[in-house]
């Protein structure tokens, strides 16, 4: 007998905080770090966007993960590997070949983090009933994003403080990355103690796929999958570009269109009131879907993800650097992201329903990562071509495909609703 929902309030927050931290360090904090170490926007956009690749191709090895070991063993090992990768970055930063060596460590962290995602998401889906999956999607999204804010906020604040203290950006970021490694190792230990050993159950073992190719064939043969995956690819088209250039925009000198904020100020903005609004948005999204079903809230959630982009455009066009305007923009972005991603994650769980749902969810999130990687690759070049004002106007327009595609994707209106029959 599988004891679902056991200790969920203990392990869901910790597991998804641990999932979010390496992602934000690889995808976002790397951008800030390289910016402060003198790397150009074009190189930042190009090389850090390639770091998305492991999240795109993770479905290639996800079926093997279901056949070999348990998900719990996989995510504990991968979290330890991420800790080692961050330590390597901290140690290599003071060298003359820091760019190549730290990128190599970021690549190792990216592959380990993507693999950790597969294992953690699979563990989430087998450890909770469908009703609890919908309810906790807001909690998991919130703690995932809280990890993002910890990386992009608190750790960046630390780096900014150390920059001012030592007058040496390299030394400051070296110490910061070593601290990130210690934090990641502590979270790994926490997961070791709070995650139950579900997978010894015979019922769980029966859910494993029978063959490698069967996983892919059964996924793409699902009704309406083509349109669903198109929506997944375009859902974050605007955000995928904004997330790469938002920090450079705040950090760059006003002479080149930036707002001239310091590293510590950027970290503080993301790490203060933004955390509260993010938490409210993520938990509210999960509760509303659990109460009303996904259909009622999908359109408002798409809008909440994209409307804040217009505020970035306003800041860039008007050259407004007043702290109130900047904080308001970040607060709206954080709330909108938390609220929207709750719905998006429930939709991904829906298209993964059925046999081999762990691998199918990895496929779905792989397409999501592809939708983040491809636009991110050119974001730096587009920004340098259009300037910050033209770039953010383009990001606002990039919301249109996802809004249009909403009319064509199919899913049960009550999917995720408490007590509803939600069949794939």
Residue 357's closest CA among 220, 215, 224? 215
Task: Give tens-digit pLDDT for 140-189.
Answer: 877 887 898 889 888 998 999 999 999 999 999 999 999 999 999 999 99
Superfamily of 8-196+203-405 according to CATH: MFS general substrate transporter like domains (1.20.1250.20)
Mean pLDDT is highest, among 46-55, 243-252, 399-408, for 399-408
Mean pLDDT value across residues 119-133: 79
Model pLDDT, residue 209: 56
Q: How far is CA 353 from CA 86, 118, 356, 380, 421, in A?
A: 35, 15, 8, 37, 13
Residue 5 banded pLDDT, cuts 50, 70, 90: low
Share of residues in the chain with pLDDT > 70 (%) = 93
Q: Determine which helix (DSSP H) or strand (DSSP E) holds 405, and give its type and residue range.
A: helix 400-405
Interatomic CA distance for residues 233 and 212, integer angstroms: 24
Q: Is the pLDDT of residue 420 over 70?
A: no
Please report, for the chain, the start and end positions of each structural domain, with discontinuous segments joined by +. Answer: 8-196+203-405
Reading the block at residue 270, the tokens are 């993301």
Model pLDDT, residue 423: 43
Mean pLDDT value across residues 316-331: 92
Residue 218 banded pLDDT, cuts 50, 70, 90: confident
Tokens 């066009």 belong to residue = 317
Q: Are 281 and 304 spatial neighbours (Cβ–Cβ below 8 Å)?
A: yes
Residue 424 banded pLDDT, cuts 50, 70, 90: very low
Mean pLDDT value across residues 287-291: 87
Q: Are 98 and 37 spatial neighbours (Cβ–Cβ below 8 Å)?
A: yes
Residue 3 banded pLDDT, cuts 50, 70, 90: low
């Amino acid at each position: 007998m599988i004891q679902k929902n056991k200790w969920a309030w203990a392990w869901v927050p910790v597991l998804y905080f641990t999932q979010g931290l390496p992602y934000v360090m690889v995808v976002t904090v790397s951008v800030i770090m390289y910016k402060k170490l003198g790397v150009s926007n074009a190189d930042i956009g190009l090389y850090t966007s390639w770091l998305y690749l492991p999240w795109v191709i993770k479905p290639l090895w996800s079926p093997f993960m279901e056949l070999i070991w348990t998900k719990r063993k996989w995510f504990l090992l991968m979290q330890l590997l991420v800790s080692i990768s961050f330590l390597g970055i901290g140690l290599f930063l003071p060298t003359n070949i820091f760019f190549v060596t730290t990128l190599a460590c970021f690549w190792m962290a990216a592959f380990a983090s993507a693999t950790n995602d597969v294992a953690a998401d699979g563990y989430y889906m087998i450890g909770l009933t469908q009703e609890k999956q919908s309810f906790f999607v807001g909690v998991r999204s919130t703690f995932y994003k809280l990890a993002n804010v910890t990386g992009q906020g608190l750790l960046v604040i630390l780096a900014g403080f150390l920059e001012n203290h030592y007058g040496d950006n390299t030394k400051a970021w070296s110490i910061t990355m070593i601290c990130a490694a210690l934090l990641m190792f502590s979270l790994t230990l926490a997961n070791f103690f709070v995650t139950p050993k579900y997978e010894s159950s015979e019922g769980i073992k029966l859910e494993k796929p029978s063959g490698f190719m069967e996983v892919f064939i059964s996924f793409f043969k699902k009704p309406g999958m083509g349109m669903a995956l198109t929506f997944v690819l375009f859902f974050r088209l605007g955000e995928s570009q904004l997330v790469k250039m938002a920090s450079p925009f705040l950090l760059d000198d006003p002479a080149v269109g930036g707002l001239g904020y310091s590293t510590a100020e950027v970290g503080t903005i993301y790490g203060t009131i933004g955390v509260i609004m993010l938490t409210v948005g993520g938990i509210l999204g999960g509760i509303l879907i659990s109460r009303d079903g996904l259909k009622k809230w999908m359109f408002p959630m798409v809008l909440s993800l994209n409307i804040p982009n217009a505020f970035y455009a306003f800041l860039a066009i008007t050259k407004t650097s007043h702290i109130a305007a900047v904080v308001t923009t970040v607060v709206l972005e954080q709330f909108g992201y938390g609220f929207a991603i709750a719905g998006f994650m429930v939709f991904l769980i829906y298209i993964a329903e059925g046999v081999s749902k762990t691998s199918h969810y990895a496929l779905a999130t792989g397409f999501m990562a592809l939708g983040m990687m491809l636009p991110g690759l050119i974001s730096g070049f587009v920004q340098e071509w259009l300037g910050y004002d033209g770039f953010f106007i383009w990001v606002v327009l990039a919301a249109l495909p996802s809004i249009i595609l909403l009319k064509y994707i199919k899913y049960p209106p009550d999917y995720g609703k408490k007590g509803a029959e939600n069949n794939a």
